[in-house]
């Protein structure tokens, strides 16, 4: 299996300043992410950054980073610039791994890439896992996805979907046993050619209403394959508390 893993990393963060350079067991977080991604089957791992400090930190550790423009409206646009800078062919598979996930499961990266490698009809791929409680199902911060028979996304929403009409007429405090709602996991795979196309796609109505960028892809008629994983992934680093949790994990490693 051959694919490219790209790691976007920016210094600007309102909740955790200089996040990619935060020390985790003696190494910057972005380097910890690279080391984890290298455990996957990716043939190339590269950081995409708009900051010289991040680039220097990555290169000091012996890895590759490329400077991108600092005016991209989204991370996807940054990836589109990267596929051009790397000279990737349109059929190359690219997996976007966030630069704040030093504990990401390498097998999840491989599974997202495999969706595209195995199905030429897909423009994108992503992942999900089963929701097992009513609170998460109702939570608008938990993004849900509904799939078709071929495990392609039909729709993403912050609303509780699919809605169990009959069961919820009587009790909404528990999920009915025959309902298996799916929580979207924010990891994406792309064909390089589609990333080039994405830059030209106009924003969609549903994307702005739900505040979910991936809906632009469905709006314009492109297919997104979804890998169902058995377990929820370890949370990334968004806050000082998250950073302390991850530091504790690394402190216990041999």
**Interval 26-48: pLDDT, tens:** 999 999 999 999 999 999 999 99
What whole-number distance in Å separates Cα of residue 107 and Cα of residue 73? 30
* pLDDT above 90 as % of the chain: 74
Give the count of alpha carbons within 13 A of 177, CB side only.
0
Domain-embedded: residue 77: yes
Q: What is the CATH number of the domain that holds 164?
A: 3.90.550.10
Domain-embedded: residue 134: yes
Residue 5's pLDDT is what?
Answer: 97
Domain-embedded: residue 144: yes
What whole-number distance in Å separates Cα of residue 16 and Cα of residue 13? 5
Q: What is the domain count for the chain?
A: 1
Average pLDDT, the chain: 92
Domain-embedded: residue 254: no
3-state secondary structure 77-107: HHHHHHHHHCCCCCCCEEEECCCCCCCCCHH
Domain-embedded: residue 253: no
At 217, the pLDDT band (50, 70, 90 cuts) reads very high
pLDDT digits (tens, 9 = 90+) for 110-121: 999 999 999 999
For helices 240-251 and 29-37, angle between their N-to-C axes, nearest 10 degrees? 60
At 177, the pLDDT band (50, 70, 90 cuts) reads confident
| Mean pLDDT to the nearest integer, 122-137 | 95
Domain-embedded: residue 151: yes
The helices-and-strands tally (H runs, E runs) of the chain is: 10, 11
Q: 91: domain range? A: 3-248
pTM of the predicted model, to two decimals? 0.92
Q: Which residues share a beta bridge with 226? A: 126
């Amino acid at each position: 299996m051959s694919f490219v893993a790209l790691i976007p990393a920016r210094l600007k963060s309102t909740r955790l300043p200089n996040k990619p350079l935060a020390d985790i067991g003696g190494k910057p977080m972005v380097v910890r992410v690279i080391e984890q991604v290298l455990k996957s089957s990716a043939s190339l791992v590269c950081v995409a950054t708009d900051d010289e400090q991040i680039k220097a930190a990555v290169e000091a550790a012996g890895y590759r980073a490329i400077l991108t423009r600092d005016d991209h409206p989204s991370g996807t646009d940054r990836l589109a610039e990267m596929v051009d800078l790397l000279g990737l062919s349109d059929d190359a598979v690219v997996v976007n791994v966030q630069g704040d996930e030093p504990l990401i499961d390498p097998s999840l990266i491989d599974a997202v890439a495999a969706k595209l490698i195995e199905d030429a009809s897909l423009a994108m791929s992503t992942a999900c896992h089963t929701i097992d409680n009513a609170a998460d199902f109702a939570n608008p911060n938990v993004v849900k996805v509904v799939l078709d028979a071929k495990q392609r996304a039909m729709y993403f929403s912050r609303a509780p979907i699919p809605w169990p009409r009959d069961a919820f007429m009587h009790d909404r405090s528990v999920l009915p046993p025959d309902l298996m709602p799916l929580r979207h996991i924010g990891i994406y795979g792309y064909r390089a050619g589609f990333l080039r196309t994405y830059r030209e796609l106009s924003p969609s109505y549903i994307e702005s209403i739900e505040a979910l960028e991936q809906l632009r892809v469905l709006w314009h008629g492109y297919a997104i394959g979804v890998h169902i994983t058995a377990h929820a992934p370890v949370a990334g680093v968004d806050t000082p508390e998250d950073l302390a949790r991850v530091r504790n994990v690394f402190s216990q490693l041999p």
